[in-house]
Amino acid sequence: MASVSETAVAPLPDAPHAMEHGALLSALDVEPGRGLSHDEAARRLEAYGPNELRKKAKTSFLVVLISQFQSPIVYLLVAAAALALLLGETVEFVAIVAVLLINAAIGFTTEIQAVRSMEALRELTGRSALVRRDGTVVAVSAEQLVPGDVVVIDAGDVIAADMRVIASANLSVDESALTGESLPVSKSERAVAADAILADRTSMLFKGCAVTGGTGEAVVTGTGMNTELGRITRLVEEAEPERSPLERQLTRLSRHLIWLTLGVTAIVALSGVLAGQDLVLMVESAVALAVAAIPEGLPIVATLALARGMLRMARHNALIEQLSAVETLGATTVILTDKTGTLTENRMHVDRLVTASGEITFDREARAFIRDARPVQPDPGDAAGHLLRAATLCNNASRGRDGETAAGDPMEVALLEVASAGGFDRHDLLLTCPELAEHAFDNNTRMMATVHQEGERFLVAVKGAPEAVLERVVDVDVDEGHGRRPFDRDQRRHWARVCEVLALQGLRLLAIAGKEADAEPDAVYDGLTLYGVVGFQDPPRSDISGAIADAKRAGISVVMVTGDHAATANHISKSVGLAAEGSTVIEGRDLKPYDEMTAEERATARKARVFARVNPEQKLDLIRLHQEAGEVVAMTGDGVNDAPALRKADIGVAMGLRGTQVAREAAALVLRDDAFPTIIHAVREGRLIYTNIRRFTTYLLSCNLSEILIVGIAVMSGLPLPLLPLQILFLNLVTDVFPAFALGTVEADRNVLSRPPRPPSEPILARAQWVAIVTHGSIIAAVTLLALGLATTVFGLEGDAVTTMCFYTLALAQLWHVFNMRNWRDMLFTSQVTRNSYVWMAIALCIAILAVADLQPMLASALHLVQLPSDVWLALLGLSVVPVILREASAFIVRMRRRHR
């Protein structure tokens, strides 16, 4: 035997599923009865490396902390702090640094809790495998497996590497996490076509999948990153996650603010110098303008609003790892969703029974049988009763008693459930009809049979694939009193048509048959009587139809992307209202790679609502297809095959209960209840958060603009400086932040999910918001400048008294300005803003802070505030409410005009 080390790394077969297992064993240079020697296994382990996937490094505290400072608006604050330090304004420098640290602390605390919660969900389990080495079966750790190892497989094992089956006995594997196939897949040593898709490679066992039944042997063909799981891991690493819409928009806004700050500061300072103003005064004015132009409270308020949204979502079973992902859901325009377990229950149930007497529907919730819209109860003597009895006897599952969990093949469990509703209990039946023999399901016959003794006679119960069972049937059971009907050509055509119709409805089928004999039969499958056909389905979750209707009403397109069969996907999509009658299903084999599609084919794919039998690369193509059309894409999934798409999507949504570790690590959001309606609730929360971010950003910037106008107009007009830099910073950091955060808690109106999602290209501040900023900022500036004029003329104030009157006029005007942040349709005292208790608490807190600033000598001295006479207080209070009165008057006029039209 040539060692691997002699030829470096020996190339692994490209398509082991298509090779005869004898040829494959020769290519891998291994004898199945002896396996590899321990020395050869060691050499191959050195050559191919351990059987491990690259693991995602644990997120460190430092990485999360540094990420809190990676924002243009934070860079802007850092520049402002440096400018203050350069100009010797130590108090302003300390205050801005404090803002940066508070913002970072809030974001860090929230995100690190979420990151650790996500890491707690990760599975860290060790595996072992039974392999044949030097002719002896030994247990080795999964990491020690190498290509060429002969592995002994048994029910309950988790496959530790990619393997080619070389011997099997009723071997079946759950591949749902890898392919999306909802039922266990039968495996055999027979080769399949080289171009077979992953779900159809019945000669292969794949790393990470669980053996649900049978035994077998297999030879390892790929380990570590050379497995299908490793291929998907590489796709995850290559799939660059998209930045969230909010991150892009805040970055754009920050750039605008940078240029605004530099421009306004330079223009005003230069104009003052040219006009002959004092240079020291101009430097102080430049600092005041720079401080005024920067919304220092915006990072804090935005972080708090997102953190609050994260906590609210967590209470509704949606766990988010990154703050920016909270808002992305609100911008979602397309949801690509898996089928099994997301839209469906991920449990097989009997949907209907078909006998010679007709079709009987089973209502699982009511445990009732319905024929022709009337309830019926199967009789032990009729065809339905015979069917249920045979299905109960030919069964190895257990329903579970006294709260125990059902165990066994999902379809067999479902048969016991429907039989129990019909009055047949397996335990009781076996007391009267003890089992003598079992002929286990075989991949060649595609049937299973059990032999029982009832008194002096023998009973044979058979179930299997309809086409296999119908080949062995000689007659058909009819209801009691009508005997049996010969299974002639017409009957064969009739039952073939029945099976075809049921399959087109997305049902999985089993035919149930049997016979009676005077002696224990040798040929159990000959001369059977057909009792009927059972149709199974993984039913839609009860709340799915409503959730999809909510998504459509919200203007969100829902697209099913599944690895399951087209007929099943088509039936489920129509039953939950996802796809319209007459719509077609696009199968993976008909879907070209994105770069090879024509413009017409891309348009057709974008309109499709159901995709079946797709692979991980095709899921990435579908996400790219929608993203390049300007859509914001959410992707749901639970299997390892979903992980690359979860990472590539604008927001990946993984299942927390049944999701794989790989899927949860790739996603930005994890559903702890695996429920699609939770996504819709998260969308609602995301829209609310965006609305509130837009609301408090408008509030903060209009306050900042008023400060810019006040200082700029005063300086350029040769008036005394109305506000000092530290006073502006005090307003921006103290009295502005609390009302802004309160605006971030305003509840959504009832129509939030009745509106289409905002255009992804729409900036966080659109034309309407900029108009509001300029209008409100100008009015607040006007009343403050009016206060400046009254202070110097009417009241005869000088020095700090002038700036004190301007300071309090502006502070109160900005506080009342929070009530202007409502929809024009809402009355002043009935709007969501006015009814929000946090708004009133924020106003009360800010008034208390202003009172402390006025009464506390040290703080008043730092802010250059002095005591004002009562008539001045009355005047500034009256001026401060003018912006609210004007806003309400204009809203009243608009409402009247709309009502008149």
Q: Are 196 and 16 in contact (CB under 8 A)?
A: no
Tokens of 579: 């796809």
Tokens of 733: 């950091």
d(CA 163, CA 223) in angstroms, rounded, equals 9
DSSP states of 430-448: HHHS-EEEEE---TTT-EE
d(CA 521, CA 455) in angstroms, rounded, equals 15
Length of the chain in terms of residues written:
901
d(CA 265, CA 287) in angstroms, rounded, equals 8
Q: Are 724 and 800 in contact (CB under 8 A)?
A: no
Q: For 710, phi and psi rounded to 5 degrees?
A: -60, -50
Q: Output the CA angle 529-534-538, nearest 5 degrees.
A: 160
Three-state DSSP at 732 gives helix
Q: For 653, phi and psi rounded to 5 degrees?
A: -120, 110
Tokens of 64: 């999360």
Closest CA to 205 of 233, 229, 236, 232: 229
Q: For 167, phi and psi rounded to 5 degrees?
A: -160, 145
Helix, strand, coil shares, percent, the chain, to 5: 50, 15, 35
- DSSP tally for the chain: helices H, then strands E: 31, 26
Catalytic residue numbers read 338
Q: Which helix (H) or strand (E) holds 362?
A: strand 358-363
Distance, C-alpha 94 to centroid of its chain: 41
Q: For 617, phi and psi rounded to 5 degrees?
A: -65, -35
d(CA 266, CA 258) in angstroms, rounded, equals 12
**Residue whose tokens read 């839609």:** 540
Tokens of 365: 């919730």
d(CA 536, CA 533) in angstroms, rounded, equals 10
- Return the bridge partners of 438, or none: 450
d(CA 450, CA 429) in angstroms, rounded, equals 13
Q: Which residues of 769-801 are buried (b: 16+ CB within 10 A; e: fewer)?
A: beebbebbbebbbbbbbbbbebbbeebebeebb
Where does residue 446 fall: left (phi above 0), alpha (psi -120 to 50 degrees), or beta otherwise?
Answer: left
| Helical ranges in 594-675 per DSSP H | 599-607, 616-627, 643-648, 661-666
Could you tell me which residues come within 8 angstroms of residue 484 by beta carbon, excluding any fewer than 6 positions away?
475, 476, 477, 478, 529
Q: For 118, phi and psi rounded to 5 degrees?
A: -65, -40
